[in-house]
Amino acid sequence: MSLPSLSRIPAPPDAILGLAEAFKADPRTGKINLSSGVFVDATGQTPVLSTVIEAERRLADAAGSKLYRPIDGEVAYRELVRALALGQDHEAITSGRALATQTPGGTGGLRVGADLLRQTGAGGTLWMSEPTWPNHPQLFLAAGFKIRTYPYTDATGRRIDEAALLAALDGASPGDVVLLHGACHNPTGVDPSPDLWKQIGDVIEERRLLPLVDLAYQGFGDGLDEDAAGLRELVRPGAELLVSTSFSKTFSLYAERVGAMIVIAGTAADAAAAQSHVKVAIRVNYSNPPAHGADVVRTILADPELRARWEVELAGMRDRIKDNRRALVAALEARSIPGDWDAIATQRGMFALLGLTTQQVARLKDEHGVYVVGRGRINVAGFTAANLDLFADALAEVLATS
Ligand SMILES: Cc1ncc(COP(=O)(O)O)c(C=O)c1O
């Protein structure tokens, strides 16, 4: 016997992680990596948060056990992350119709949610924004969904085309799943206004669609509650939806793979039944979750003093991103680079989309050692005093000569 013949044909590298590998192998000094969605500080490092170090010290002192964890995670963790996403006293929590599951990162949360839906007979169509995080289409295709897209920004790439977005959702069929970025849209950095969230909620209700909210950056935009406001707009009385959250970025726990998937059903009984299917989906996939990252997040969220310190660390990351946005716009305007850059200063989260051609993106990499994704998605957190001017010079040169 031999391996299947297709296994002999190499798969294309991952759109984002593949670039990170190419960056690592690039021998040039002065190269700049703006491709990966990781936060870096002013020195270009991604440090472990001080609250994470403190939580890890406490966990080591407590010397717990390495026994298997429950399939859907420890109750304390599940309750804390549910409150973080929905708000402490939300009706969906007090009524018991929202139940959280620990998952390996936000990617794991999305996949567990997708498996739950496919396993229990969801209509096979899922709508996602165009553009979106490149892992979205391949993840939901792998889970067996047919993908449809709804338009997101207008031609400038700086504002949501509200009419086009709403019209597309209005054309969806009852039972279709609608994937929405909870905050800090990846890759555009452009989020719906409160009024647009309300209109999206209305279309979802009228068309009887099922929202799946991907909340991977809660706290990176405007604040913990502010960034969950869109999601909470959708959690109307009796409304059903799924939420995937990630703590990779907001606790800087990338490698620990920690996140959650929240099922919000119409009633507590329906939520409990759905949760039993969630456990089946997990059991046949990775059986039960890794412990460490969730223990760290639980330790921080459960302790008022540690939690307050974490919120300060989170605000520090958020403020640095906002400062970088303003510095980027100033650097582009100082070089009189033609374009509508102003809006980048007020967008949310780590990403901005420059709207470049494939050729311009290739030239940035080949001629300047500047790594950006797709149509020029940049990680704004990646700028430091050492690389911002180099980047702006490179962009100015490429745009002036193409
Ligand atoms: C929009 C979006 N969703 C989900 C994720 C998944 O994050 P992770 O699986 O690393 O927790 C990411 C990470 O980049 C993301 O950008």
DSSP letters of 300-367? HHHSHHHHHHHHHHHHHHHHHHHHHHHHHHHHHHHTT--S--GGGGG--SSEEE----HHHHHHHHHH
Give residue 140's region: left, alpha or beta (phi > 0; psi -120 to 50).
alpha
**Structure tokens of 137?**
């289409």
Which ranges of 171-303 would DSSP assign to H, the alpha helix?
Answer: 194-207, 224-234, 268-283, 292-302
Rg of the chain, C-alpha, whole Å: 21
Find the 181 Cα to ligand 1 centroid distance in Å: 10
Positions annotated as catalytic residues are 133, 214, 249
Instruction: Answer whether residue 129 shows pLDDT above 90.
Output: yes
Q: Which residues line ligand 1 (CB under 6 A)?
A: 37, 105-107, 133, 181, 186, 214, 216, 246, 248, 259
Instruction: Please give the number of the atom of ligand 1 that sits closest to the Cα of 254.
Output: 10
pLDDT value at residue 1: 81
Question: Residue 98 forms beta bridges with which residues?
Answer: 264
Report yes or no: 382 and 34 within 8 Å, Cβ to Cβ.
Answer: yes
Peptide bond connecting 187 to the previous residue in cis, omega within 30 degrees of 0: yes
Residue carrying the six token digits 């717990």: 64
Find the 248 Cα to ligand 1 centroid distance in Å: 8
CA distances from 246 to 81, 84, 270 (A): 10, 11, 25
To the nearest 5 percent, what fractions of the chain are helix, strand and coil? 50, 15, 40
Mean pLDDT of 127-145: 96
Question: Chain centroid to CA 97: how far?
Answer: 24
Find the 214 Cα to ligand 1 centroid distance in Å: 8
Percent of the chain topping pLDDT 90? 88
Q: What is the pLDDT of residues 254-279, one digit of tens each?
A: 999 999 999 999 999 999 999 999 99
Report yes or no: 395 and 364 within 8 Å, Cβ to Cβ.
Answer: yes
Q: What is the pLDDT of residues 153-180, one digit of tens each?
A: 998 888 999 999 999 999 999 999 999 9
Bigger pLDDT: 339 vs 141: 141
Instruction: Please give the number of the atom of ligand 1 that sits closest to the Cα of 132.
Output: 1
Residue 315 to residue 39: CA distance in whole angstroms: 13
Residue 247 to residue 261: CA distance in whole angstroms: 12
Report yes or no: 130 and 151 within 8 Å, Cβ to Cβ.
Answer: yes
Find the 216 Cα to ligand 1 centroid distance in Å: 6
Instruction: Answer whether residue 15 shows pLDDT above 80.
Output: no
Residue 177 to residue 228: CA distance in whole angstroms: 20
Find the 213 Cα to ligand 1 centroid distance in Å: 12
Find the 383 Cα to ligand 1 centroid distance in Å: 20
CA distances from 177 to 53, 126, 136, 227, 255 (A): 39, 5, 13, 22, 29
User: Residue 172 has what DSSP assignment?
Assistant: S
Mean pLDDT of the chain: 95
Mean pLDDT of 237-251: 97
Bigger pLDDT: 230 vs 336: 230
**Structure tokens of 98?**
């929202």
Q: At residue 207, what are phi and psi to the nearest 5 degrees?
A: -85, 0
**Structure tokens of 25?**
């192998």
Residue 102 to residue 291: CA distance in whole angstroms: 10
Residue 395 to residue 334: CA distance in whole angstroms: 12
Residue nearest (by alpha carbon) to ligand 1 atom 3: 216
Instruction: Please give the number of the atom of ligand 1 that sits closest to the Cα of 37.
Output: 14
Residue nearest (by alpha carbon) to ligand 1 atom 15: 216
pLDDT value at residue 20: 87
Instruction: Please give the number of the atom of ligand 1 that sits closest to the Cα of 107.
Output: 9
Residue 260 to residue 73: CA distance in whole angstroms: 9
Q: What is the pLDDT of residues 211-228, one digit of tens each?
A: 999 999 999 999 999 999
19, 135, 350: which to mutate for ligand 1, most atoms within 8 A of CB?
A: 135
185, 246, 256, 378: which to mutate for ligand 1, most atoms within 8 A of CB?
A: 246
